[in-house]
Structure formats: C-alpha cells, structure tokens
Copies of this chain bind each other. A is one copy, B any other.
Amino acid sequence: MKLSTTELYDLIKRILTANGCSEEVAEIVTQTVYTAEVSGTLSHGVFRLPGYVSSLRAGWVDGTATPIVHDRAPGVVVVDGNNGFSQVAQRAGRPLVMEKARANGVAALTIRNAHHFAALWPDLEPFGEQGLAAIGFVNTMSLVAPWGGSRKLLGTNPMAFAWPRHNRPPLLWDQASSIMAHGEVLMAAREGRQLPPDTGFDADGNPSTDPARVAEGALNTFGRHKGTAIALMVELLTAGLGGANFGFQDKGKDVPGARTFNGGMTILVIDPGRFDDHLIERAEDFFAVYAQLEGARLPGERRHGSRARADAEGVTIADAQYSALLELLPANEA
C-alpha cells in the first residue's frame, strides 16, 4: 500500500483521536510516529500504533493529559506528564529549558509520570536545529539483563545525542543500551526471523535466539559490560534524577492491555555559544576530516535520505500492516 506523506500523517492522527487522544495530544504524538516512519526508523513508526492504542483503550495512558511544568532551579525544569505521553510533556517544558540553557550555558529537562513509546532522536532534533547540543536519556520497563546476569532488570534505556552543524541539519544519533532494540525483537518475532547468538535469554535465564522467548526473557546490553554501564547511567539520570518509576517499578505489567511504560526522561541541553565563539563552525573541520575516511559514515545520514524519498515518492506500508492499522479505527471511519 502506497501512501503520500499527507495521507500517512492523517491516518496516524485519525487513529489516535479515534482512541482517546485530544486534538492537541494527537497532533504531537502523530509527529513522532510519522517522523520515525518516514525516516526509516520502522521499529518506532506505525508499527507502534497498536501499542499506543492498546494502552489508550486500557486507560493506562491518558491521551488528554495536561502536563505540569515546575521551574525548579535556574538550570532545572521538571515536568510531571500527568500520565500522558512524554512528547506532550517535552513540548510543555522545551521553551523553558531552552531559555535556561541559553542563559546558563547548560540546563536539564526531566520528565516523570509520562509514557515514552517513540524513537528518541526526534526529541533532540529541535534543540540541534536551534543551535543547541543535547543529550537525551529514556528509561523503559525492565527488559535487559545487566552483563553477567541473565534476568531482566534494566530497560532498553536509549541514549541520544544532538550536535548543531553549521548550515546543515544537526548530527543526531539514538541507540538502545540493549544489544538490540525491543521493537526490533518484536519485529523479528512477527517476521519469523531468529536472533543472532548472544542477543539474550529466555524467561528461565537460558541463552536463546528465539525472538518470542527473548521478548519474554531478557536482552543483553550492547558491548558487553560497557553497555550495562550506559544502561545503569540512563536509569539513574531518568528515574533517579526525575523521581520517575524505575523499570522494575512498572505497574503496567498487571494492567490488561498496558503496552507502554510510565517512566522517566531527561534531556541535558548545552548552548555552545556560552562556552566560546565560533565553536560550531570550528567543529566542521573535524567533520570534514571524518567525511574523507573510507568506509566510515556519520550516524543519521541514512535518515535524511529516507525523509527526502518519502517526501518525493510517498511511503510504502505492507498490505497486512495497513489492514491492521485500519482496524484501529471505528468501523464507520476505516
């Protein structure tokens, strides 16, 4: 099924409004799902919509929530998401944290009591586009075993980074602390693909390459103990610093239909202009050398190509997936 970008956007938004999102929330969440899909981040695009809808229908996430912004310190914004989606809380806190970063050179936005079910890199893009650097952290429900163990405790705990480029889109990367994103495990299960060895464990703690078993068990962290160190940091900088739920405190596992996690997120925002003049232009010397290296690629380059292609040619969605999306609409709308 081929959709224009406008048709895709409208379909996502209709699904969200039909399942309990306010107009404003649907607009914000649609942008995150849409951006992931057209950028080729398929594990966080429309593939996630059944999960969003399930949590909404279960009453586990509030699609009409209004976040509360706390101006806690000259460099600190704390947002209570009021059990809504994280992107809505981010939108509420973003202007203030940008203002604080520009005033102080560095500032933090932390979000508690909100559901993050999306790709992380789109959350940092607005900072990079405004000439700011940003580091983002999100914790998730327990899905990952610390290195050396075989039982889940850590989340897939993604971390992301944005650096503003001179006269170009920002450098952006976003990566799970797990060896594979949970969404990729679910996609492998759906498509009947085995996982590489060392991906994770079944629910009994035995190594497994079966995606359905690993989804019930635990993933390894990437890069052995080093990914575990990153995942620990993410857990502490999100739940620890924001007062959000740690992954092991997820109450959703007892709620039928709950697919999202009420957790935490933190974004550290840095204004290079408060450190020195012309730093962004100067860093381009480094990128110029990098670009000449045979075989090496800057993170995120593929995404720009995907977005440009989607704008020009539209987006292809498998027929079965498209039918499943239509089933998320009321009968008279599908």
Footprint of B on A, CB under 8 Å?
Answer: 72-76, 78, 103-108, 110, 133, 135, 145-151, 153, 161, 163, 171, 173, 175, 222-230, 232-233, 235-237, 239-243, 246, 248, 268, 270, 272, 274-276, 279, 282-283, 285-286, 289-290, 293-299
8 nearest A-B residue pairs (beta carbon) = A223-B223, A75-B104, A149-B296, A76-B105, A146-B296, A73-B105, A73-B274, A149-B295
Determine whether the beta carbon of A147 is less than 8 Å from that of B296: yes
Residues of B within 8 A of A289 (CB): 153, 248
Determine whether the beta carbon of B279 is less than 8 Å from that of A243: yes
Q: In the complex the two chains form, what is the Cα distance from A232 to B173 in whole Å?
A: 10
Determine whether the beta carbon of B242 is less than 8 Å from that of A286: no
A-B contact pairs, 14 of them (CB 8 A): A73-B103, A73-B104, A74-B104, A78-B276, A145-B296, A148-B296, A150-B295, A153-B289, A161-B232, A171-B232, A223-B226, A223-B227, A242-B275, A243-B279
Q: Measured between C-beta atoms, what is the minimum distance from A277 to chain B in Å? A: 9
Residues of B within 8 A of A237 (CB): 133, 270
Indicate how many identical chains form the complex: 2
Q: In the complex the two chains form, what is the Cα distance from A103 to B75 in whole Å?
A: 8
Determine whether the beta carbon of B171 is less than 8 Å from that of A275: no
Residues of B within 8 A of A225 (CB): 299
> Contact partner of A103 among B74, B146, B243, B285, CB < 8 A?
B74
Residues of B within 8 A of A110 (CB): 275
Q: In the complex the two chains form, what is the Cα distance from A195 to B242 in whole Å?
A: 42
Determine whether the beta carbon of B133 is less than 8 Å from that of A104: no
